[in-house]
Amino acid sequence: MPQDPLAVTYDAVVVGSGATGGWAAKKLSEAGLKVALLEAGRNVSAEEFTEHMPAYKLEYRNLSPEVVRTRPVQKMCYACMEYNYDWFVDDLENPYSTPEGKPFTWQRLRIVGGRTLVWGRQSYRLSDLDFKAASDDGHGDDWPFSYRDLSPYYDLVERYVGISGTAEGNDALPDGQFLPPMKMTCGEKLLRERVKTKFGRTVTIGRTAILTRAHNGRAACHYCGPCERGCSTFSYFSSPFTTVADALRTGNCKLMTDAVVRHVDMDPRTNRARGVTCVDRNTRRTYQVSGRAVILCAQALESTRILLNSRNAEHAAGLGNSSGLLGRFLMDHAVGAGASGELSGIDFKKSAGDPNRPNGIYIIRFRNVKGGPRSARFIRGYGFQGGAAPNFNFEAEGFGAAYKAAVRGGVYGIRLSGFGESLARMDNFVEIDPALQDAWGIPALRIQMTHGPNEAAMMEDAAVAAAEMLEAAGARNIVLNSKLAMPGMAIHEVGTARMGSDPRKSVLDPYNQTHDVKNLFVMDGACFVSSGCQNPTLTMMALTARACDRLIERFKKNEM
């Protein structure tokens, strides 16, 4: 008779099955540890992927008002659509609050794989320009390790995930273990050449977690395009079909779906975590899962919410909060600024039947870098994501046969969008809203974040820099946008349980263990000390792998 999974004391209880939870489950179960992998949502199957389904077959051709009605926050993300909106949380069931005039958009998925099912897949390393930024400009704190410490874990993750890209030899964006790069369009090569010649800046192809050749049992990308609706050939990295699958294959990992974690259970005698209390998403039944170690990988804000909701007599301000900094230093990249235009003189014929490259270009940070000029208006820096390609000209004037011809004739568009560092600030934070609960009776978050004058100045600079680079490429009809989008729009939220060597100034130690509870860990983006300007998921996965190696050592030494 199979053992009741709830009667087992696991070596590790991992909360969350996305990018970091998948890695934690894989690393620990492959090391022989018994793992319970908890996911608040349902399981996912490749049979529900719709990347090859044309929109005209949908009832509302991907314009369904139901998506906006039930997911007014989630719909702000381009990836939440009529095809897949049930992967995203229902905003009516999963509320959070924000102060008047300080909106924050929080994108969440509750399903095995979490946001790896729909992520943008851009994968960039941070460098010591980021890890040691505070030493350079005096704002905030350094990370408690250097690039050299994390580099082997970047290697490990990249080799497993499969990151396509080009090595550029630029210290601000370290090279990695790359699969062959995707190819640039004519407009992008033109931009790369002109920008290098005129400004000395580097335009490179996006480094993306999409395979350009068969890799680790997964097929190469077939360029159908809409990865956010799933990938039947598993060419883009998503945890259910890689790390989680590996973990389950060991026989050491038990996946528990529909497990909405309410709080961490503590043993007050030993000051150790005993496991977690969950609410079954469907039945509302409350139950406990026990473990020798508890690892939160629920996504930065969700993990911090669990810790805040785990307050008890001994930890009255929330678990792991002796520093008073739990919830503080919320960051999300500054976005919204950039420029777009049109390129002329390039021969093209646009067709909806053409291969659709699910990737763009990246311009490596060039402001406030070592050896470069300093900006007088802001510290840190930004990179650009963008692309140049033919588009159909749906905005053509007029009507009739001429309009149809103009649509097909198309325009060769080019665009650059800035992604800037979001400074770590005490006054950007999350806390529990005493008056708001989710559909399972779990207290919800109140999120308070604004971008400051540094981010505003940075984005203004990014807009001008984008325009000057488009000018250099010969673009016309340039439109510039210099305003900041609301926090959360980058969907790169990090911080709120930052790591550090000093327990008075941080929540986690340098290996993601809470300073206050020796068998409690947060191994997701909550641990970030600063945001850099690079997409954070690759770094989160590398940090998880590193923290798990340390944890495995401790298990081997019987320290757990």
Partner 1 sequence: MNRRELFRRAIAGTVGAAAGSLLPPGGARAAALEPKRFPDGYDASKDLARPDWKPVFLDEHQNQTLIALSDLIIPETDTPGAKRALVNRFIDRLLEAETTETKRSFLASLAFVDGACIERYRAPFVDLPVETQVGFLKFIAYPHSYVTWGDNRSEFAGHAHFRNLKGWISRTYYGSEAGQKELGWTGNVFHGDFEGCTHPDKTHN
Residues 137-196 that bind partner 1 (CB under 8 A): 182-190, 193
CB of 287 to partner 1, least distance (A): 17
| Residue 309 three-state SS | coil
The minimum distance between CB 456 and partner 1, in angstroms, equals 12
214 binds partner 1 (CB under 8 A): no
Q: How many residues of this chain bind partner 1 (CB under 8 A)?
A: 102
Q: What is the Cα–Cα distance from 98 to 445, expressed in whole angstroms?
A: 9
- Choose which of 122, 235, 242, 340 interacts with partner 1 (CB under 8 A): 340
The one among 21, 176, 240, 336 contacting partner 1 by CB under 8 A: 336
Of 34 and 110, nearer to partner 1 (C-beta) is 110
Burial pattern 39-53, b for ≥16 Cβ within 10 A else e, equals bbbeebeeeebbbee
- Show the CA angle centred on residue 125, arms to residues 120 and 129, nearest 5°: 130
Give, in degrees to the nearest 5, the angle at Cα 332 between 63 and 145. Answer: 140
Residue 65 near partner 1 by CB under 8 A: yes
Name which of 8 and 407 has its Cβ closer to partner 1.
407
Measured CA to CA, the distance from residue 307 to residue 139 in angstroms comes to 27
Smallest distance, partner 1 to C-beta of residue 92, A: 6
CB of 158 vs partner 1, minimal distance in Å: 21
Task: Kindly identify the residues of this chain, within the stretch 444-473, that bind partner 1 according to CB under 8 A.
Answer: 444
Locate 421 and state its tokens.
């560092």
248 and 255 Cβ atoms separated by less than 8 Å: yes
Q: Which is nearer to partner 1, 19 or 40 (CB)?
A: 40
d(CA 17, CA 110): 9
Is residue 45 involved in binding partner 1 (CB under 8 A)?
yes
Of the candidate residues 51, 142, 493, 516, the single one contacting partner 1 (CB under 8 A): 51
Q: CA 163 to CA 401: how far, in whole Å?
A: 45
Q: Which of 17, 98, 127, 242 binds partner 1 (CB under 8 A)?
A: 98
Query: What is the residue whose two structure tokens read 């790390």?
Result: 243
With H, G, I as helix, E, B as strand and everything else as coil, classify residue 383: strand
By CB under 8 A, tell whether 426 contacts partner 1: no
Selected binder of partner 1 within 34, 218, 328, 415 (CB under 8 A): 415
Q: For residues 296 and 524, is the Cβ–Cβ distance under 8 A? A: yes
Stretch that binds partner 1, among 261-269, 315-323, 476-484, 543-551 (CB under 8 A): 476-484
State the binding string over 234-263 for partner 1 (x if CB under 8 A, else -).
------------------------------
Longest alpha-carbon distance in the chain: 80
Q: How far is Cα 302 from Cα 493, in angstroms, rounded to an integer?
A: 11
Question: Minimal distance in Å, beta carbon 514 to partner 1?
Answer: 28
Q: Which is nearer to partner 1, 472 or 523 (CB)?
A: 472
Residues in a beta bridge with 418: 384
> Which residues in 494-553 contact partner 1 (CB under 8 A)?
none
Which helix (H) or strand (E) element contains residue 335? strand 334-342
Q: Which of 52, 370, 374, 505 binds partner 1 (CB under 8 A)?
A: 52
Report the residue number, 130 or 188, with the smaller CB distance to partner 1.
Answer: 188
State which of positions 342-401 bind partner 1 (CB under 8 A). Answer: 345-346, 350-357, 392, 394, 397-401
283 to 166, 201, 258, 286, 444: CA distances (angstroms): 49, 56, 9, 9, 20
Considering the complex, state which of residue 53 and residue 167 has its C-beta at the smaller distance from partner 1: 53
287 in contact with partner 1 (CB under 8 A): no
Q: How far is the CB of 485 from partner 1 (least distance, A)?
A: 5
In angstroms, give the least distance from the CB of 189 to partner 1.
Answer: 5
CB 478 within 8 A of CB 470: yes
Taking CB under 8 A as the criterion, which residues in 220-239 touch partner 1? 222-224
Helix, strand, or coil here: 189?
Answer: helix
Q: How far is the CB of 551 from partner 1 (least distance, A)?
A: 33
Is the separation of the CB atoms in 463 and 470 below 8 Å? no
Q: H-type helices in 8-84, by residue range?
A: 19-30, 65-70
- Among 158, 421, 431, 438, indicate the residue that binds partner 1 (CB under 8 A): 438
Least distance to partner 1, CB of residue 202, Å = 15
Round to whole Å and give the CA distance between 437 and 301: 15
